[in-house]
Every structure is written in structure tokens, then in C-alpha cells.
Chains A and B, each alone.
Chain A
Amino acid sequence: MIRHRTGVFFTLPAVSLLGAILVIPVCWSVLLSFETDSGIGFGQYMKLLKNDAARHSFLITFIFTFFSVAGHIILGMISSLLLKTKLYLSKLWRILLLIPWIISPVICGVIWRWMLDPLYGMVNHWLTKLGLISQPILWLENPFLAIVSVTLAWIWTGFPFVMLIILAGLQQIPENLYEAAKVDGATATQRFLHVTLPNLKPVLVVAALLDTIQCFRAFSSIYIMTQGGPGDTTNVISIFIFKHAFDYFNFEFASSGGVTMALVLLFLGYLYMKSLGEEVA
């Protein structure tokens, strides 16, 4: 009985704080999202479905997330494989390769925005010097290129997170599996395809899920680079909600967006939990 109370006592601060600063605001947000001009109802959610800008926002978020996660996984795989084999330098390199994730995405956005500056940015400078372009490319002003640019910048910013997860997974693959394969005469490529990849699959699933959750919420670097523009082109869902809340002060509509976003993320989180094999309470 004492044990019973002790457990509760120690868990209480966390649970009650979370209740106050997380659960209550979420409930409040849900309530707000049901307030419409004509009383209580699904009006805001209807607006969300019918609003072209909202649909575009969800679409662009999905596209951005898909390509970002793909880029992260590929880059993460390559870098973790490289880190694993060249262990004697890996400590220094591991820190270097992590820097884009350590520093604020605001800084990453700022660096990329400067690099992509049409007239004074490094990218156009080198492209011109190499003779590849004659006119400056408007990376952030052209709608299509803007999407490409923010995605590239985010791939740069976020891949270390995935790299770490994959690296941890790689280090768990028993060495004797590789030894056995070598004894059987497998080449490096064959070892990769038949030992590394199959054993890495669950880790890749976890990494992809966690990263999808992160990319879906992306805000800072995109907001710094384009503010959601040009126009509405790069208005990912976080930026969309932010603007409706704090530029247009349409709190109810913003809340409906936020709740929708939370539902998507909770669903992804549920998938993550299942992939861990834990029982869902």
C-alpha cells in the first residue's frame, strides 16, 4: 500500500503538469474549433475542407514531408554507413555531421536563404562561374523552385536525426553475421543487400515514422526562407495555422487546423507505438 502511494506521488508532478500545460490546452483548442459564426458546429472543419488555400497547404505539406523523409533516409543511410566503416575519424565527423540538427532551424533557414540569394548568393555565383547558367535563378521567388529549395534546406537541416537512428540500428547488427557472409564469399554489395538491409528494416521503419512526424510539423526554416511564399506556395500546415492565428486572428479556424494536424500526428504516433510492439492501453 505504501508502494502504491509512493508510485503515485512520484509520478504526480509529471502527470499534473502535463495535464495543465498540455491536456487542458488541447481540450480548449478542440472546443474552440467547434465555434463557428452560427453557434457550435463543424463549420470550421467544413471551411477547412472547402478552402482552397487549406487544401493546398495540406497538399504541399504532404509533398514536402514525402520528399524530405526520402532525402533524410537516403542521406542518413549513406552517412551512417560511412561513419560506421571509418571509425577512427567518426567522433569528429559525427559532431560535424550533426551540426545542422544541433543549431536552430532558424539559423539553417537563414544560411540557405543567403546562399540562394539571386544576386549575392553563393549558389548562383558558382553556377554562373561554372558556366551553367547565364541568368540568376530565382530560387525562392519561383513557385516550383521555392518548394524545391525549402525541401533541400530541410533535408540538410534534418538528416542528422535520421542518421543517428540508423547508426544505432547498424551498430546492433551482430558482427558474426557479416563474418559468416564473408566466409561464404559474399562481396560487400551482397553483404549490404543480404545482411545489412534486412536487419535494418525495422529501424528504417521507425526512422521513417519518427521523421515523418518531424517533417510534418516543420515551420521555422521554411518560414524564415519564404514565409510561406511566394504567395501561398510553400504554406505548409504549420505556417498556415500560424498565419490564421496571428496574422488574421481567426483563432477558431486556426484551432480546427491545429486539431486536424494533431489527429494526423497522433495517428502516426500510434503507428510508431505499434511498430515498437508495445501494447496500446
Chain B
Amino acid sequence: MGLRLRPKTIKAIGSIVQYILIIILCASIMVPLLLMITTSMKSRGELFRIPLTILPTRVTFTSYVQLWMQRPFGTFFANSLIVAVASTLIATLVAVMAGFGISRYHVPGRKTILAGILMSQMIPATVIVVPFFKFLAAVGLYNSLIGLIAAHTSFAIPFATWMAIGFFRGIPSQIDDAAIVDGCSPFQRLFIIVVPLLRPGLVAIAIFTFLLSWKEYFFALSLASNERMYTLPVGIGSLVGEYGVAWNDVMAASVLAAVPAIVAYVILERHLVGGLLTGAIKG
């Protein structure tokens, strides 16, 4: 004789299991993040005191202050900002133009270009970092933001263009075709008619590209040896790696680096077009 559960009981158990899973999932994300925050508010002595404390017994913001004094943290922040904004602007502009050209006009070698754009997203930083290094060193642009902006643009443009093409496909060309009849120049057609239609997509492209640049580490590490040229990830990385790591400083730096990224994403969420990732699945 088997035990037969009523459907209602099964549903109830199922619901409880779902809630438990959600709690476990969110906890596994939140706990490390909370640890980052609480560690940033501890004093150096308390970090290494046994027995370990989870919450700081005395909340102190000395780490946050020390960051700006002992290391050029403000410079790290500014560098990250400059590089991210510059590469985003370049990539977005170039991508929108290319998306417009490919989707609205006849371009020779269209299929090749499309395949090329897709394939260039697969090219790893490791294969172009050495030529970048050599070239920048040769022209004296090693340890420069320009070099890093160029490096970041190398992955920003393919990604942004691919996204832009996807968005353009979502806007029927009949809408802006009408503009030609009215005598618009292509530029007017693009910037006055299409771009406003594209706005949510533009925001998505801009913020995604910004995030990619903001968190990038490999190029930033390879193309800068001077501390004044570090971006935030490199700065944070430089705080670790030696013996006797000041984890409270590290965590404070991490919090300060994480906040702009999270804020940028929250802004993106509002503008999120439903099919953002449909492009990845349906092409």
C-alpha cells in the first residue's frame, strides 16, 4: 500500500521547496557581498582578531579614508571612468552608424561583415595584447589612457555593433523610409528619426559597454606599469598579492568600485527592452 499525497499537499510542499531554494540562492549571493561591506568597515586589528567577528564591533570608516591617502585611489577611479566613457562613446557611435548602414542600405560584402563582427567577439585579449604592448611601447603610448581606450574599444565595438544590428532589425525600415520621401539626408534620417526610436536599445548598448570596460582587468594590467595609470580593478588587485593584505582596505576599494557598476545596471534595467537577449538566441 503506497502513500498517496493529495495534490494540494504536493503543491504546498513544492511551494515551500521553491521558497527555500530562493532563500538559499539569495543568501549565497548576499552573504559574500555583505561580507565585503562589513569587512570594509572593520579596523585592521579586528580583521585578524580571534575569535572572528562577523559584524564589526566598532564600525569604522578608516579604510575608506586611507584609500584616498595611501594610494592614488581617486586616480584609479578617474582612469576607469575616462576609459569606460571614452570607449563607450566611440563604440556606441560607430556601432549605431554601422547598424544603420547595414540594415538600411546595400553594403557590399554584407554577409562577410556580419560574420566578421560576430567572430571578432570571439577573439581573446591574449592574442592581441602582445602587439598592443609592442606598438604602444614603440610610439610611447605605453602607460597611457589612450592605449587602454584603444584596447577596450577593440572588444567594445564588435559587441556594440552586434547589439545595434539586432536592435535595428527590430525597427522596420518602412518607418524611416518615409523620411527619404520627405527629402531627409541619411544623417538626418539616422539621427532625427531612427535614434529616438532606438533609445532603449542605445541605453542598453551604452551601459553594457560601460560595464565591460569598467570591470576589465587583463588589458588594464598589461598596458600599465605606472600606478598613476591603474584602473580600479588593477588598483584593487595591487592591494592584494603582497603578504599581510589589508583586507579592510581591499574591501573598501571593492565597494567603491562596485557601486557605480550596480547603479549603472539599475538604470539599465529601467530601459531594458524585453528582447535584449533574444538577439543572442535568435540572431
Q: Which residues of A contact B (CB under 8 A)?
A: 3-4, 6-11, 13-15, 17-18, 21-22, 24-26, 28-29, 32, 78-79, 82, 85-86, 91, 93-100, 102-107, 110-115, 119-120, 122, 125, 156, 164-165, 168-169, 171-172, 187-188, 202-203, 206, 210, 213, 217, 219-220, 223-224, 227, 237-238, 241-242, 245-246, 251, 254-255, 257-259, 261-262, 265-266, 268-270, 272-273, 276-281
CB neighbours of B95 from chain A (8 A): 14
Q: Which residues of B contact A (CB under 8 A)?
A: 10, 14, 18, 21-22, 25-26, 28-33, 35-36, 39, 47-48, 50, 52, 54, 90, 93-95, 97-98, 100-102, 104-109, 111-135, 150-151, 153-154, 157-158, 161, 186, 190, 211, 214-218, 221-222, 232-233, 236-237, 240-241, 247, 250-251, 254, 257-258, 261-262, 265-266, 269, 274-278, 280-283
Contact of B266 among A95, A103, A213, A266 (CB under 8 A): A95
Number of inter-chain CB pairs below 8 Å: 295
Contact of B282 among A104, A113, A276 (CB under 8 A): A276
Q: How far is the CB of A226 from chain B (nearest CB, A)?
A: 11
Q: How far is the CB of A173 from chain B (nearest CB, A)?
A: 12
B101, A10: Cβ atoms under 8 Å?
Answer: yes
Contact of B215 among A105, A213, A223 (CB under 8 A): A105
A258, B119: Cβ atoms under 8 Å?
Answer: no
Once bound together, how far apart are the Cα atoms of A190 and B133, in whole Å?
56
Q: How far is the CB of A218 from chain B (nearest CB, A)?
A: 10
A220, B217: Cβ atoms under 8 Å?
Answer: yes
Contact of A241 among B30, B52, B126, B211 (CB under 8 A): B126
Inter-chain pairs besides A24-B131, A111-B35, A279-B111, 4 sampled, C-beta below 8 Å: A14-B94, A14-B117, A241-B126, A262-B122
B281, A95: Cβ atoms under 8 Å?
Answer: no
CB neighbours of A17 from chain B (8 A): 90, 94, 153, 157
CB neighbours of A26 from chain B (8 A): 123, 127-128, 131
B115, A22: Cβ atoms under 8 Å?
Answer: no
Once bound together, how far apart are the Cα atoms of A6 and B95, in whole Å?
15
**Also in contact, A246 and B111, with CB within 8 A (given A7-B105, A202-B281):** no
CB neighbours of A21 from chain B (8 A): 128, 150-151, 153-154, 157
B18, A86: Cβ atoms under 8 Å?
Answer: yes
A103, B97: Cβ atoms under 8 Å?
Answer: no
A258, B97: Cβ atoms under 8 Å?
Answer: no
Residue of B nearest to A251 (CB): B130
B47, A165: Cβ atoms under 8 Å?
Answer: no
B269, A95: Cβ atoms under 8 Å?
Answer: yes
B283, A276: Cβ atoms under 8 Å?
Answer: yes
Contact of B262 among A103, A254, A276 (CB under 8 A): A103
A281, B101: Cβ atoms under 8 Å?
Answer: no
B115, A280: Cβ atoms under 8 Å?
Answer: yes
Contact of A102 among B39, B262, B276 (CB under 8 A): B262
B127, A258: Cβ atoms under 8 Å?
Answer: yes
Contact of A242 among B126, B211, B215, B276 (CB under 8 A): B126
Sample of 10 A–B contacts (CB below 8 Å):
A15-B98, A17-B90, A86-B22, A97-B25, A104-B214, A110-B237, A165-B281, A187-B10, A245-B130, A258-B129
Contact of B32 among A97, A119, A156, A266 (CB under 8 A): A156
Residue of A nearest to B278 (CB): A168
CB neighbours of B31 from chain A (8 A): 122
CB neighbours of B157 from chain A (8 A): 14, 17-18, 21-22
CB neighbours of A93 from chain B (8 A): 22, 26
CB neighbours of B115 from chain A (8 A): 273, 278, 280-281
Once bound together, how far apart are the Cα atoms of A188 and B121, in whole Å?
39
A10, B100: Cβ atoms under 8 Å?
Answer: yes
A6, B101: Cβ atoms under 8 Å?
Answer: yes
CB neighbours of A278 from chain B (8 A): 114-115, 283
CB neighbours of A270 from chain B (8 A): 119
CB neighbours of A91 from chain B (8 A): 269
B254, A261: Cβ atoms under 8 Å?
Answer: no
B240, A110: Cβ atoms under 8 Å?
Answer: yes
Once bound together, how far apart are the Cα atoms of A268 and B119, in whole Å?
10
B217, A219: Cβ atoms under 8 Å?
Answer: yes
**Also in contact, A255 and B97, with CB within 8 A (given A82-B18, A110-B250):** no
In the A-B complex, the 5 residue pairs with the smallest Cβ-Cβ separation, listed nearest first, are A10-B101, A7-B105, A104-B215, A258-B127, A269-B122
CB neighbours of A9 from chain B (8 A): 101, 186
Count chain A CB atoms within 10 A of each CB in B122, B153, B247, B277 and give the residue with the most: B122
CB neighbours of A25 from chain B (8 A): 127-128, 131-132, 135, 154
B101, A11: Cβ atoms under 8 Å?
Answer: yes
B108, A8: Cβ atoms under 8 Å?
Answer: yes
CB neighbours of A268 from chain B (8 A): 122
**Also in contact, A103 and B261, with CB within 8 A (given A95-B266, A97-B25, A280-B115):** yes
B105, A210: Cβ atoms under 8 Å?
Answer: no
Residue of A nearest to B122 (CB): A269
A7, B106: Cβ atoms under 8 Å?
Answer: yes
Contact of A269 among B39, B119, B186 (CB under 8 A): B119
Residue of B nearest to A202 (CB): B281
Contact of B281 among A82, A98, A168 (CB under 8 A): A168
CB neighbours of B214 from chain A (8 A): 104
